[in-house]
Amino acid sequence: MNTSKFFVGCIIASVATGCSSTPDPNTLTNDEIADGWELLFDGETLDGWKDYNGDSLTQPWHVVDGCIQANGDGSDLSGYIVTKEQFDNFILDWDWKLSEGGNSGMLYHVVENPYFSVPYVTGPEYQLIDNDGWEAKNAPTKLEPWQRLGVDYAMHLPNPDSMFVNPQGEWNNSRIVFDNGHVEHWLNGHKILEFEAWTDDWFQRKNSGKWETAPEYGLAESGVICLQDHGYPASFRNIKIKRLPKKQSEPRSLFNGKDLTGWDVYGTEKWYVDPEGFMVCESGPDKQYGYLATREYFKDFDLTLQFKQLANGNSGVFFRTFVEPPVKVHGWQCEVAPKNCDTAGIYESYGRGWLQLIPDEKENILKPGEWNTLRLRVEGDHVQTWLNGEPMVDFNDEEIGKAQGRIALQIHDGGGIKVQWKDLNITKL
């Protein structure tokens, strides 16, 4: 889609009607419907929206004159509403108007989980704020550049020459494009910033600023859309979205055979690459749990790897996992363990424990002290494993189906563990 032509049309329409996207607020033209656009707000009800981490809508938002309005009763810890539906690749378009000095935001790829008390530690934010009014109300405090209107909050700054903002109290139009990692922010028909998510530069920004202590920030490839009540009245209308296709993924390696690039270490146990080019996990003097986690998320995937248990092989491959610092994971484990301990079975790290044990007669498939091939395939709520070419478990689980997250290798506590890993190859489905 030619976004520039679309936005020129919006600007012309706004001059004639006072609305920055369609002649009638909260409606779609026939051409937009044919092009795949969907309304996220019908102008009359809040159907399709709910509290963050909730089942219904109780936060102080309401519909007034065809707009979703935030009362201004929210705070840093409350006042967030989210779509009931998740989105991955999209063009998201909306009109917004703030009170004088107002502060709000539009977030996306937000992950819902009771562990996350606020959405912004998971989902990126298009900042909405009345720069001058906010600074006047909060003088002598000044906004940091990464807090100002249009930023990818605490990450990327807009081009100041592209910022054309309507006078305070008037409607503005914004847009977010997320296309398989390519991100654009638009304001009133002008592209104000663009970047590529999950590059080395992106991770450097994430790990050196506000999100340094938020390990799951921005990693999700899908999630809910979120509106923020940050203690100031704010109005939204014409909220619409167009889904974009997901690009087909090619098989790739998670391990370069040289170092641990692309992985994050959690805990004090040992992770290194030995002279033979194998990844090694080894118990350290603390004899505690340790994890080596991918720095990116994998929701649906097919993973094949090889492991060799050089000592007590109590380890595992976690999937759809997130990390609670300093050393705790939330998710599911494909077991790697000594013989007769259900290698290739599936264990939940919190709550339910074992979800699927392997058949007793298949315990002899594991080859202690030799290279073993483990395959793990997860698609939706369907989980399958194979060990040395033999199918081990095959089941469906609703809770797994709701989740997404990292892949992580484990060192169990207790000490005495040493395992080699190689040929970690994955395909996103």
Tell me the pLDDT band of 1, cut-offs 50, 70 and 90: very low
| E strand map for 30-171 | 37-39, 49-51, 61-64, 67-70, 80-87, 90-98, 103-110, 125-129
d(CA 333, CA 363): 18
pLDDT of residue 212: 94
Cis peptide, bond prior to residue 326, ω within 30 of zero: yes
Q: Note the pLDDT tens digit of each residue in 117-171.
A: 999 999 999 999 999 999 999 999 999 999 999 999 999 999 999 999 999 999 9
Tokens of 287: 């004899």
Tokens of 394: 């095959």
Q: Tell me, yes or no, if the two domains 3-243 and 252-428 fold the same way.
A: yes
Which CATH entry fits the domain spanning 252-428: 2.160.20.60, 2.60.120.560, 3.40.50.360, 2.130.10.30? 2.60.120.560
User: Burial level of 221, CB count in 10 A (0-12/13-18/19+)?
Assistant: buried
Range scoring the smallest mean pLDDT among 31-45, 69-83, 226-240, 311-325: 69-83
d(CA 370, CA 316): 16
pLDDT of residue 15: 34
- DSSP for 310-356? SSB--EEEEEEEEEETTTEEEEEEEEE-STTS-TT-EEESSSS-EEE
pLDDT of residue 77: 72
pLDDT of residue 233: 87
Q: Which residues of 89-119 are buried (b: 16+ CB within 10 A; e: fewer)?
A: bbbbbbbbbbbebbbbbbbbbbbbeeebebb
d(CA 378, CA 357): 17
Q: Which helix (H) or strand (E) holds 301?
A: strand 301-309
| Span between the terminal Cα atoms of the chain, in Å | 25
pLDDT of residue 23: 64
Which CATH entry fits the domain spanning 3-243: 2.60.120.560, 3.40.50.1450, 2.40.50.100, 3.90.1150.10? 2.60.120.560
Q: Note the pLDDT tens digit of each residue in 356-408.
A: 999 999 999 999 999 999 999 999 999 999 999 999 999 999 999 999 999 99
Q: Which residues of 385-417 are buried (b: 16+ CB within 10 A; e: fewer)?
A: bbbbeeebbeeebeebeebbbbbbbbbbbebeb
Q: Note the pLDDT tens digit of each residue in 287-306.
A: 999 999 999 999 999 999 99
pLDDT of residue 3: 44
d(CA 425, CA 202): 23
The closest of 7, 5, 15, 4 to 166, measured between CA atoms, is 15
Which H, E and C letters describe 228-255, residue by residue? Answer: EECCCCEEEEEEEEEECCCCCCCCEECC
Residue 313 near residue 417 (C-beta atoms within 8 A): yes
d(CA 5, CA 11): 10
pLDDT of residue 22: 47
- DSSP for 72-107? S--BTTB-EEEEEEEESSEEEEEEEEE-TT-EEEEE
pLDDT of residue 362: 98
pLDDT of residue 10: 40
Mean pLDDT of the chain: 92
Q: Note the pLDDT tens digit of each residue in 91-107.
A: 999 999 999 999 999 99
Tell me the pLDDT band of 74, cut-offs 50, 70 and 90: low
Q: Note the pLDDT tens digit of each residue in 322-368.
A: 989 899 899 999 999 999 999 999 999 888 999 999 999 999 999 99
Residues 6+ apart with CB under 8 A from 144: none
Tokens of 399: 């809770």
**Domain ranges across the chain:** 3-243, 252-428
